Amino acid sequence: MAKRAYISAVGHYVPDKVLTNFDLEKMVDTNDEWIRTRTGISERRILEQGKATSDMAAEAVKKICAAQDMDPMEIDLIIVATVTPDMFFPSTANLVQEKVGAKNAWSFDVAAACSGFIYALEIGVQFIVSGKHKKVIVIGGDKMSSIVNYRDRNTCVLFGDAAGAVLLEPTEDEEIGYIDSMQFSDGSGADYLMMKAGGSLNPASLETIANDWHFIYQDGKSVFKFAVKKMAEVAVDVLKRNNYTGDDLTLFVPHQANLRIIDGAVKRLGIDYDKVMINIGKFGNTTAATIPLALSEAYEQGKLDVGDLVLFATFGGGFTWGSSLFKWGIPKPKKI
Ligand code: UT7
């Protein structure tokens, strides 16, 4: 019988340090009311200096190993989705492999901005379905504070730092696991959301630093227009393709970039808000981490049980977007 992939464990890590809207009021010309009403964000977490994406990712994996009573040596593959790798090379996944002691795993990074986790999840699923691997860790992690310009009010209010991870394993149970997914890219979106320097086109120089090209740049309005349309579209399409409607969903876990973008998708799906996981208020946009972080929190809060239908959808830089559909396979935690 063909193998199915299912999510057998979840874990996340957020730094302790909180940066509130009121803190940002002292740094740039902004205010709590504007940020909350335009984005839904009240605060975000900031990782200390000297720590990097791999540290947060490793903590998320350690939580999974502890919860599963799993020796890290059992892990076959580690995939990290990030746009804030510790360094260009080695990959952040390599650094996580070492930090968690997963000596038998091979490891690599995926870069698809806010869609990174959904892209990486699909890769992980295929390695399970093919029968090649039995334990695949997929991580979304970003230290956005390392590329945010805290003098630019257009972007600095939006982002935060976090990591989330899932463990994928094979199952023969047809009632749980991966159902379907869709992924898309449109490179014409490159001009609207990017970090211009540091790569092979504009290596670091005095000029790139003076121009603030090592920080995230976003044409918010243009990105918003695409995001609101495409994230809703792909969420609806993946459900339809599998003969489901919003009524069948237990939980929708959208990318957390802006509450107004989530609103658009929720309306198109025709679902009530009690079926939507929203934690943007506490963490802001943590890029590749938003979906695994929200999923891990949703599970901890008892929002998911075996057999529940759960839908992920995302939109991000590139442009990139996508959606995945699963039947949940982990029993509800006993203590909530
Ligand atoms: O996760 C990856 C994908 N990214 C996204 O999906 C983000 C998509 N974009 C957005 O979420 C929204 O476009 C933003 C939240 C970034 C901006 O919201 P907006 O409603 O599109 O605002 P805007 O850029 O049109 O700016 C409206 C006004 C402008 O002032 P004027 O020109 O009307 O006088 C801005 O200068 O708000 C001003 N503004 C601010 N005011 C107070 C922009 N940022 C701020 C701020 N505080 N932080």
Does residue 272 surpass a pLDDT of 60? yes
DSSP characters over 225-256: HHHHHHHHHHHHHHHHHTT--GGG-SEEEE--
Contact criterion met (CB below 8 Å) for 325 and 238: yes
CA of 154 to the centre of ligand 1 (A): 6
Rg over alpha carbons for the chain, rounded to the nearest Å, is: 19
Residue 185 has what pLDDT? 98
Residues 278 and 116: their CA atoms lie apart, in Å, by: 19
pLDDT tens-digit readout, 276-326 = 999 999 999 999 999 999 999 999 999 999 999 999 999 999 999 999 999
pLDDT digits (tens, 9 = 90+) for 108-130: 999 999 999 999 999 999 999 99
Query: Residue 1's pLDDT is what?
Result: 56
Catalytic residue among 94, 258, 279, 285: 285
> What is the model's pLDDT at position 309?
98
Write down the catalytic residue from 12, 65, 94, 114: 114
Active site residue 114: yes
- 294 close to 140: Cβ distance less than 8 angstroms: no
pLDDT surpassing 60 at residue 102: yes
**Global pTM value:** 0.97
CA distance linking residue 145 with residue 213, whole number of Å: 15
Q: What structural domains does the chain harbor?
A: 4-171 (3.40.47.10), 177-327 (3.40.47.10)
Rounded to an integer, what distance in angstroms lies between the CA atom of residue 220 and that of residue 156? 12
For ligand 1, what atom is nearest to the CA of residue 227?
6
**Using CB atoms within 10 A of its CB, is residue 88 exposed (0-12), middle (13-18) or buried (19+)?**
exposed
SS3 332: coil
State in Å: Cα 323 to ligand 1 middle. Answer: 25
Measured from CB, residues less than 6 Å from any atom of ligand 1 are 30, 34-35, 38-39, 114, 153-154, 157, 220-221, 223-224, 227, 257-258, 261, 285, 315-317
Average pLDDT, the chain: 97
What per-residue string of b and e applies to 228-263 under the rule 16 or more CB within 10 Å gives b? bbbbbbbbbebbeeeebebeebbbbbbbbbbbebbb
Q: What is the pLDDT of residue 82?
A: 98
pLDDT digits (tens, 9 = 90+) for 219-256: 999 999 999 999 999 999 999 999 999 999 999 999 99
Indicate the top mutation candidate among 221, 226, 234 to test ligand 1's pocket, ranked by most ligand atoms within 8 A of CB: 221
Mean pLDDT of 80-90: 98
**Stretch (H or E) spanning 79:** strand 77-81
- Which ligand 1 atom is the nearest neighbour of the CA of 24? 48
3-class DSSP state of 54? helix
Whole-number Å distance, alpha carbon 219 to ligand 1 midpoint, is: 9
66 vs 44: CA distance, rounded Å: 26
Phi first, then psi: give them for residue 321, nearest 5 degrees: -155, 165
CA of 120 to the centre of ligand 1 (A): 29
Residue 49 token pair: 């200096």
Whole-angstrom Cα distance, residue 246 to residue 129? 27
What pLDDT band is residue 2 in, cutting at 50, 70 and 90?
Answer: low
Q: What is the mean pLDDT of residues 41-48?
A: 98
Strands 309-316 and 251-254: parallel
CA-to-CA separations, 62 to 56, 171, 241, 261, 281, in angstroms, rounded: 10, 23, 36, 32, 26
Q: Give the Cβ contact number of residue 107 at 10 Å.
A: 21
Give the confidence band of 335 by pLDDT, cuts at 50, 70, 90: confident
* Per-residue pLDDT band at 3 (split at 50, 70, 90): confident
Q: Are 172 and 1 in contact (CB under 8 A)?
A: yes
For the chain, percent of residues with pLDDT exceeding 90: 98
What strands lie across the sheet with 320-327, from one edge to the other? 177-185, 320-327, 309-316, 251-254
Rounded CA separation 100/76 (Å): 13
The count of other CB atoms within 10 Å of the CB of residue 131 is: 10
CA atoms within 13 A on the CB side of 40: 15
Known active-site residue 65 = no
Query: 64 pLDDT band (50/70/90 cuts)?
Result: very high
What are the backbone dihedrals phi and psi of residue 253, each rounded to the nearest 5 degrees, phi first? -115, 95
